[in-house]
Structure 1
């Protein structure tokens, strides 16, 4: 469900994103003195293309499920009421926080989400390196209660699409400071911490557009001067092959499941922490 919202068209976004990717690349190489991993970037583009096709088909399969859940909701909020959109924004953001948190804390879901955390550089292209298996990992289940509360599935998908477009701008090492707004909004600084694999930073800063739920539930962390950020997976996949990246964590998980002595042990592995 999360990444299906990428299929919602927002006019002008793709050209702007492409220009920013090029500008960031030039800034990294010519101004900031940082590297730019072109092999990783090429892998990301292939993965993003596969994601758009596969997840688009998945969205078509899930649409009737969302519609059915909404149909049986005890009441229905109107999409024509601006107050519903305001409340819906916070409800969807709350659901996204838990979707994202479960994607890190439940190994079955992590197998799909790990694709997004595999780059060892933090740049804008990281935002579009997304897995192909969200239908199987079942993170979309988190959003069913939102629709059962009466929020139109179309509204939920639009709000998620806007949220995800906002998150595109968070994937950069450019130093962008928002002052007091950083107590409320997610920022590149907050999201860099989320992508770091250092022990103090793991499983922190799950928010989408907002950081308030991380502060509320104790999962917020700020960057530390004594702990430089290190990006990528704690156990790197060691490949730029798109297929190896997309299915690398699934391969590890299935290998562990095959060695499990019984179904109970296998369930604990699949549903336990990565």
Structure 2
């Protein structure tokens, strides 16, 4: 069962409640572009998962079937409890090495790029974690945890982590000695030197206490969220590629072939000496830290919000039905989602070419609708075309009416 799919409405309900809590308490933990960027990364990740989940599932099933040492039955409650705890132990090491090795950080850094901390940050997930992440869970297959149990506890672990991404819940006393809480997970998302690379558990904080990676949130050290090499973009595609690009550029520039190879697997932040000397990286200055922001008018914000809402609906639809589609259809669906989210990112960044790209996106919807009807994924008939025409008309009006209104204003 895909628990994450069923949880989507509750995610957005809780985000709405957190926004109300912001207003009630006079806080500002959300910025529109940042939240849309985080949610876009999440939509892209779940859509990409349709194509990439087979990597982890097939490798796990193969190891369980051929190398499993015990026959654990899904009908025994203790197997589920054991698997739940064991999964979090494996997650701890996956997460920890995701911070400690360059190539693994390239995938995981997406989740840390937001300079805010709220429930939308929880949904900011990587699209490339499948490359190495499956390796860390093979021990569960080797001891005989059935794939159904593995997939279920993995979903439950992920769902648990949603609620800890908030600034509205204070320290929770004894609870924090055993479980991950909002307070000790805020530490994990900090770029303050005292907090960096701490508190890796997904559900249990016990692993961090046991292996020396625990750090309490300190009253005298307010958390500064984000990464030390800022993304400075609202584009979810670039968010997934940024650190890979940094590593690739350093590898190309390195004079030593050994450095070109080992940079990918060295500790996070390691760079060849010659490259570091000639091409220093700009790092955050916490003393004068300024969050990335691009000024947008009200009309542009409304347009971006409404367009993104449609992509959330489309992403949920794909997550629910596209699992049985042929690979080519899944690739086309992913491409449509990825391109649309990229265009939305350019809109939020006020790129000069954003309006032109948006018009191209709207035009491409027509052949995509025809394809979806031919493939049987959407019902045939004129109703869909009428809705597409209305949507396109409203989108064009939303694009250009605010500009015409500004042009008609008399000069001051």
Tell me if both proteins adopt one fold, taking TM over 0.5 as the criterion: yes
Secondary structure at 1:14 match in 2 = helix
- Find the aligned partners of 1:12 and 1:74 in 2 and give their Cα distance: 34
Say which of 260, 270, 278 aligns to 1:266: 260
Number of the residue aligned with 2:107: 112
- Alpha-carbon displacement from aligned partner over 1:216-241 (angstroms, at most 9, x marks no partner): 00000001122110000111111112
Question: Hey, what does 2:222 align to over in structure 1?
Answer: 228
Find the aligned partners of 1:65 and 1:152 in 2 and give their Cα distance. 13
Alpha-carbon displacement from aligned partner over 1:96-116 (angstroms, at most 9, x marks no partner): 100000100011010010000
Which shifted more, 139-148 or 257-266?
Answer: 257-266
User: Matched residues in 2 for 1:99 and 1:41: separation?
Assistant: 26
Name the Cα RMSD after superposition.
1.6
DSSP 3-state at the match of 1:46: helix
2:20 corresponds to which of 23, 26, 30: 26
Correspondent of 1:52 among 17, 41, 46: 46
2:79 matched to which residue of 1?
A: 84
Q: Distance in 2 between matches of 1:113 and 1:206?
A: 12
- 1:35 Cα deviation after fit: 4.4
Counterpart in 2 of 1:74? 69
Instruction: Provide the C-alpha distance between the structure 1 equivalents of 2:29 and 2:10, rounded to a whole number of angstroms.
Output: 23
Given candidates 137, 145, 151, the residue that maps to 2:145 is 151
> CA 1:253 to 1:221, structure 2 compared with 1: closer, same or farther past 3 Å?
same
In 2: Cα distance, 1:139 partner to 1:266 partner: 23
- Residues in 2 aligned to 1:58 and 1:37: alpha-carbon distance in whole angstroms: 31
Instruction: Give the Å deviation of 1:30.
Output: 4.0
Distance 2:58 2:128 in 1: 19
Q: How many residues align?
A: 267
Match 2:89 to one of 84, 89, 94: 94
Question: Equivalent residue for 2:305?
Answer: none
Q: In 1, distance between residues paired with 2:65 and 2:118?
A: 41
CA contact (8 A) 1:194 1:203 kept: yes
Corresponding residue of 2:250? 256
Distance 2:213 2:56 in 1: 30
Q: Give the C-alpha shift of residue 135 in structure 1.
A: 2.3
Structure 1 gap segments, 5+ residues each: 1-6
Normalising by the residue count of structure 1, what TM-score does the alignment of the two structures yield?
0.92
Residues of 2 paired with 1:264 and 1:150: CA distance? 39
**Deviations, residues 85-126 of structure 1 (Å, cap 9, x unaligned):** 121122111101000001000110100100000000100000
CA contact (8 A) 1:29 1:35 kept: no
For the residues of structure 2 that align with 1:102 and 1:153, how far apart are their CA atoms?
24
Question: What is the CA–CA distance in structure 2 between the aligned matches of 1:265 and 1:154, rounded to whole Å?
Answer: 42
Contact 1:193 1:201 in 2 (8 A): yes
Partner of 1:4: none
2:213 aligned with 1:219: yes
TM-score, reference length from structure 2:
0.62
CA distance in 2, matches of 1:199, 1:176: 22
Name the residue aligned to 2:196.
202
CA–CA distance in structure 2, aligned partners of residues 33 and 176 of structure 1? 14
Partners of 1:20 and 1:272 lie apart in 2 by 39
Q: How many Å separate the matches in 1 of 2:163 and 2:56?
A: 28
Q: Which residue of the other structure, out of 155, 162, 166, is the alignment partner of 2:160?
A: 166
Displacement of 1:33 in angstroms is 2.4
Q: Does 1:41 align with 2:35?
A: yes
Larger RCO, structures 1/2 (Cα 8 Å, 6+ apart): 1
Asked if the contact 2:170–2:182 (Cα under 8 Å) also holds between the matched residues in 1, the reply is yes
Rounded to whole Å, the distance in 2 between the matches of 1:235 and 1:191 is: 20
* Deviation by residue 1:64-93 (Cα, 9 ceiling, x = unmatched): 221110012122211111111121122111
* SS of alignment partner, residue 162 of structure 1: helix
